[in-house]
Each structure stands twice: as C-alpha cells, then as structure tokens.
Structure 1
Amino acid sequence: MFISAFYSEGMGYSENSLPKSLASLGHDIHVITSDYNVYGNDPNYNQTYKSFLGEAKQPLGTFYSVGYKVHRLKSVDIFGYIYIKGLRKKILELSPDIVQVTEIASLNTFKLALLKPFFKFKLFTESHQHLSVVKPYVIDPKLNFFKNILYKLTRTLPTFLASICIEKCYAIAPDCVEVANKYYGVPLSKIKLQPLGTDTILFHPLLNDEDKLRRDEIRGYLGLKDNDILCIYTGRFTKDKDPLVLAKAVDKLSNEGHNFFSLFIGHGIQKTEIENNKNAKTLEFMRHFELADYYRASDVGVWPKQESMSMLDAASTGLPIIVTDSIGELKRVEGNGYVYKEGNTDDLAEKLLNFSDKILRDTMGRKGSNKMRENYSWINVATNIENDYYS
C-alpha cells in the first residue's frame, strides 16, 4: 500500500510513477489517497489547477490506473494537513506486507505508526521537504521562539516517535536528509538517500524520424526557425516557482540581438506578466506523457526556483538544464547544466547565453540523458526500494 495525501491521474509525481514501476516488477500495488487532487487544498487551486485537473475534491471510490489500483477515501484538512479516514479498515481489507507513506511528517504516518504494532506490515516513509522551504523560525529559533517550540511539539516530537516504528525513510535529496533528521527528529540510521526518478522510456532523446518530425511540427506551431534557441519551463506560474525570471532573461537576450525564445507550460498568477514579454509563449498544463514531445522540441530546460521532478524529465530527453543555486541536489545538474544566482535575471541571461553554442548544448544534453538512464530511472528506483522491502 502506498499512502499519498493527494493524487491526480496521468501525472508524473512519485505517487503515480513509483507504484507503476513496482507493479511492473510483479507486485500487487494499491494507492490509498484522499478525495483531493494534487494541491487540492491550496487557496489558489481554482486559479491555477482547476481548468486542467477539475474540481479540487474528487469522487470517492476505487479505480484502476497503469498496473495498480487507486482507492479514494474521505479526508479532512486539519490546518493544511490532509488526514485520510478509514486507513485501518483498508489495512484489514488488503492485509498489506508493505505500507509506504509519501511523507514522514504527516498525520497519516502518525496514524500508521500507531496501527503497526497490531498488524504485520513493514512501514516505510519518504521525505520530500527541501531546506529551501523550511520556515525561517524553524531554522533560527531567535526569529520566533514561541513558533519554534510549537513546531517542535507538533511536528518534530510526533515525527520522532513515529520514526521508531519505521524501517526506512527515503529522503529524495541531501538537504531532505538534513530536514528529516534535524527538524523532524528521524535518526540518521533510518534515513536513506534515494533520489526521485524519471520515465526514461517516455522521456527519451531524439531517436528517429518520427521524433524529429514532431519537433519540427511543434517548433513550426510556435513560429520558430531551426537556429532559434527555445528555453522551456513547465509547472505552475507562481512566485514560489518564479518562472517570470526566465521570461525576463530571454527578453534581455533578445533585445541584445540573440535568438532566444521561452515557452511556459502550466498556469498561475504570473501568466499575464510572462506573456507581456515579447519572446515568451504560454501553453496550458499538459498530462505527463504529452510533455516529452515539447521537451524534445526545446533546446534548454530552466527552473528558476525550487526543485522540480520536471528537471529530471527534461534532462532525460537530452536537454541541458539551468536551475537555482539553492537546489538541494546538485548531482541533478553536475556536468549537464548550470546553476544561477536565484532571482538574478542578468545572471540567468549570462548562463543561457553559454547555450548559444550548439555543441555545448548537445554535449551536456547527452551527459544528462545518460545520467538519468543510469541513475534516475524509475525502474532503478523501484528496484532499490524493492531490495529494502525484502531485507
């Protein structure tokens, strides 16, 4: 059983991809989730996601996905934390050997830790919280001593107690290891660094005439010439992701006479500002499988702020990438891209200008694609985790 607070069909998140990969290895996989779509309790959900994903709350029930079964159960939002009701009943019904929760510090994890002594399952968890999104008062108690103490009592202490019952906590990046240990109290002996993955079959580089034809079709639709350099960003257009920085950097280069263009796939409050930049084009959110062609039609992938699984998908298709210098896992970009000074338009433009060199783009792109195939494929991730299940 995989327990995820949110779930949306056809996406590329870990709650979609890891169950699919484990199912392909022959396991009987059930995803237990709430009645919320991804980000369903976000105050800006209707503005950002509703047109793409539908209503924030989805019908209860059970349905099949790619190789696994999804069970939507009733849930409640408690101060921004989603608590799924009926977990005990589902455990009795399915009698799982393994239960894995997508977040160590969650009400669902605490409930499962309480249930574990009465059942035979092994409990595994994950840690996806990067240091860049940890509240400042958690890192420095001097900023707000009261809030820091409250955090320790409501987050650190219960997570530490829950960690007594787990086998392993999979941290997706080195800074997530630090967060799980330092701010949630999980012992280092129970934390394992396990990066997220990408579907290296779907997100492959240009391989054949069909791929090249599709690239030409998309670029033609966008009004691009062969030698134009297209920079792509996918995700929400919000300040915490700040794709507007890319639009401004590309327009700066264009004003200096360089043939750079930018493409943004997603939605959010920055959309109008992005579209006000003359060399920027926007498209609405797409399902996971549709994005591969758009990465292959592009020349550089850029994520100006915070980590994103889309970085891995883009690199897998052979794109060099540029990411923030606050990234928690530098291995994602070492040898196949650059980091830039977060929020600095001039620095981003300077890094982009390096990719005027097609040989450099192709060289870094090949390194990235090989790296993803060897170290970041979902099948490899699933195999590593499977070994832990059997140990």
Structure 2
Amino acid sequence: YQVNPLAKFQQHQGNEVYIATVDKEHLYPVYKEFGDSGETLDQEDKVYEDATGVKIIRVKAKGYYFRRLVYTNEIFKVVELVKPDVLFVHCVETITAMRFMLKGLKYPMMFDSHMLSMASQNKFAKLYEKLYAAIFGRKIRDKGYIVVRTQDDKYVNGKLGIPEAQTPFISFGTDTILFSPSIEVRNSFRKEHNISEDVFVVVYTGKLTEAKGGMLLAETFKEKFSKEVILVCVGTPPNNEYGEKVRKILKESQNRVIMFPTQKYQELAKFYQMADLSVFPKQCSMSFYDAQACGLPVLSEDNNVNVDRCSYNNGFNFKAGSVEDFRTKIKEVSHMSAKE
C-alpha cells in the first residue's frame, strides 16, 4: 500500500522506476489469509505497469523464517541488471534490508520505516533490537544512510540506535488522484446498498485481527446505538478461532453491519466517500490519510501517533481498549450537525 502510489508519483516526476518484489508463490501469508491467492498477479502487474509506466520485477524467494521473507540471491542480480541511481529498500528492519547493507553494493541506498514502538510486542523484540543496534545501527551511522520515518515515532532512534539526523519524518500522505470527496459516489453507493442519506455510516477498512482490534470493533457494535448507525466493514476476519468469534459477534450485531471482502487499493476510495466516520480500533493505520483525503473525520485510539494526527480539528480519540468510550465517541459524532 505504500510502494504502490509512491512509485507511481516518482514515475510521474520523470524518473524511471522499477519495483523488485516477491513472486506469487511467496506472497505474504497474511495476504493469502484474506483471499489474495496471487492467481491473477500477472494480469494485475500488467494493468499497473500500463497505467503508471512503472516496471515490476517478480523475484524468487526461499521462504519465510519467523514471518520474515528471505529472497534468493536473485534479488541482488536484479539490482545489478537495473543499475539504479538510487536503491530504495522498503522497511529498514527487514532481513532484506540487512542483507543489502551487508552486501555493500556500489549504488546509493536509502530506507524507510513505518515501525511503531507500540507494535514491537514479539517476545524476542528486545534481543532483536539490541543486536540490530549493535550491528546494523552502527553500519547505518557509519555509512550515513537515510532512513525515512513515515510515522512520527522514535522507534528507530530509541530501539535501533539510528541517529535522529539520519531519520527525517516524512509523513506518507495519500494518493489524492484516487482519494477525494465525491457526492456522486456517496449517493450511488448508498442507493445501491439501500442506505438512506440521513443514516450515519461508520467505515472500517483493514484487518480484523487481534493486533488491529477486530474484537474491540465487533464488541463496540454489538448493542444497538440510540440512533441508526450502520457499520461498513471492509476486510475479512482471519480463519482462526479469534476470527470466528469476531465474525459471529458482527453477524449477531443489533446494528446493521455490511461486510465486504478485502479490496484492492484502487477500489477503496468509494468506501470512504460514502461514509460519515472512519474508525481505527487499535494501533494506527496509513489508511488514516486516505480517509482524510476523502473528507472523513477519523476516530482512533489515543496512542501518541493518533493523538497527534487528530489534533487539527480533523478527528477524535477514544481511550485505548475501551468499548464504552469507543461507543460514546461514535454516539457523540453521530449526533453532530454537518457544520460541526
């Protein structure tokens, strides 16, 4: 979701952009859990290439180890073949980024990070961070590599030992060609799904996992609100015990809940354009910017990133983990006038 618009706009600026990424046999397991089998990947790549001019190169992988992708050495051969002026390695914390640093290629390299301190919950996190800081944090310092922080969080500084001077915060933003308000889309979507204009619609787009607060969202909509509120949920619960519980609660909700499967990035805008409020039950999401670009206020938990994001009269925060406060904030927003 980050590389997609970034590469497109870099190409629009007159650059020649290549994306080297994994082959369909090794798509990230979470994507497969949500129905992306990769069967149409070749066609989707061609559509993207034809529309943007960006070239996609699919690279073989060895597999996943501790949920981390490990490419074959073909990834380095691809870079040598392209001979880039700048090599941008997505996610400085990954095995791929570490391998590129150790490889010591002759091309200028830069990295990014969208890791948050609150997301660092793995039982081996402290050991990983200590080793990373000692080996790769030092290498980044010595080489002067730039690591762009797409989140206003000091994780890479405090945990990975990378100097602040080398980690500029550049908020990722969104693709405003795709994401913008549309009364026409709002009206047509609501008509198609039998939603009247005076009904308050809450939209959630994302994973319905424990990490993203799937159960919190379901529990929040379990009991009926004082006025008609519809939840449009774009995302499928995972196929495990947790996911089944989330699915059951949403199905039995006293409010109307409309479920959609996980959507392609290019198809997401209409879900924000037809809604009145976008919610993020846990942690934070880059989709915040997509919702905002479509003119939606956002309601999210009160972690440090979300509090800052919603401090410009553009959104609200609820007490993290609190169903009661989550419901209260939804009620308050649903009773606001359009002017408010």
Task: Give TM-score, length-normalised by structure 2.
Answer: 0.86
Deviation at 1:22, TM superposition (A): 0.6
Say whether 1:277 aligns with 2:253.
Answer: yes
CA RMSD of the aligned region, Å?
2.6
1:57–1:38 Cα change, 3 Å? farther
1:341–1:316 Cα change, 3 Å? same
Alignment match, 1:300: 277
Q: Distance in 2 between matches of 1:38 and 1:186?
A: 31
Alignment match, 1:133: 119
Deviation at 1:123, TM superposition (A): 0.8
Alignment match, 1:9: none
Alignment match, 1:180: 156
Alignment match, 2:168: 192
Q: Is the 8 A contact 2:27 2:38 kept in 1?
A: no
1:172–1:112 Cα change, 3 Å? same
Alignment match, 2:240: none
Say whether 1:265 aligns with 2:248.
Answer: no
Q: Distance in 1 between matches of 2:214 and 2:309?
A: 19
Identity %: 22
1:330–1:90 Cα change, 3 Å? same
Alignment match, 2:18: 30
Deviation at 1:204, TM superposition (A): 0.8
Q: Structure 2 matches for 1:45-124, cutoff 5 A?
A: 46=32, 48-50=33-35, 53-55=36-38, 65=49, 66-76=52-62, 77-85=64-72, 86-116=74-104, 118-119=105-106, 121-124=107-110
Q: Is the 8 A contact 1:230 1:299 kept in 2?
A: yes
Say whether 1:20 aligns with 2:3.
Answer: no
Amino acid at match of 2:195: L
1:244–1:135 Cα change, 3 Å? closer
Q: Is the 8 A contact 1:110 1:158 kept in 2?
A: no
Q: Distance in 1 between matches of 2:331 and 2:175?
A: 29
Deviation at 1:40, TM superposition (A): 1.6
1:150–1:259 Cα change, 3 Å? closer
Q: Distance in 1 between matches of 2:126 and 2:39?
A: 31
What 5-or-longer segments of structure 1 have no aligned partner?
Answer: 1-12, 139-146, 364-391
Q: Distance in 1 between matches of 2:217 and 2:115?
A: 24
Alignment match, 1:142: none
Q: 4+ residue runs of structure 1 moved beyond 6 angstroms?
A: 56-59
Alignment match, 1:5: none
Deviation at 1:262, TM superposition (A): 0.8
What 5-or-longer segments of structure 2 have no aligned partner?
Answer: 238-242
The count of aligned residue pairs is 323
Say whether 1:324 aligns with 2:312.
Answer: no
Q: Is the 8 A contact 2:221 2:254 kept in 1?
A: no
Deviation at 1:307, TM superposition (A): 1.3
Say whether 1:222 aligns with 2:193.
Answer: yes
Amino acid at match of 1:339: N
Q: Secondary structure at the match of 2:279?
A: strand
Q: Secondary structure at the match of 1:232?
A: strand
Q: Deviations over 1:308-345 (max 9, x none)?
A: 12211111111111011125253422211101112211
Amino acid at match of 2:211: D
Deviation at 1:221, TM superposition (A): 3.4
Q: Is the 8 A contact 1:172 1:196 kept in 2?
A: yes
Using CA pairs below 8 Å that are at least 6 residues apart, which structure has the higher relative contact order? 1
Task: Give TM-score, length-normalised by structure 1.
Answer: 0.75
Q: Distance in 2 between matches of 1:58 and 1:158?
A: 37
Q: Deviations over 1:336-357 (max 9, x none)?
A: 1101112211101111122234
Q: Is the 8 A contact 1:30 1:68 kept in 2?
A: yes
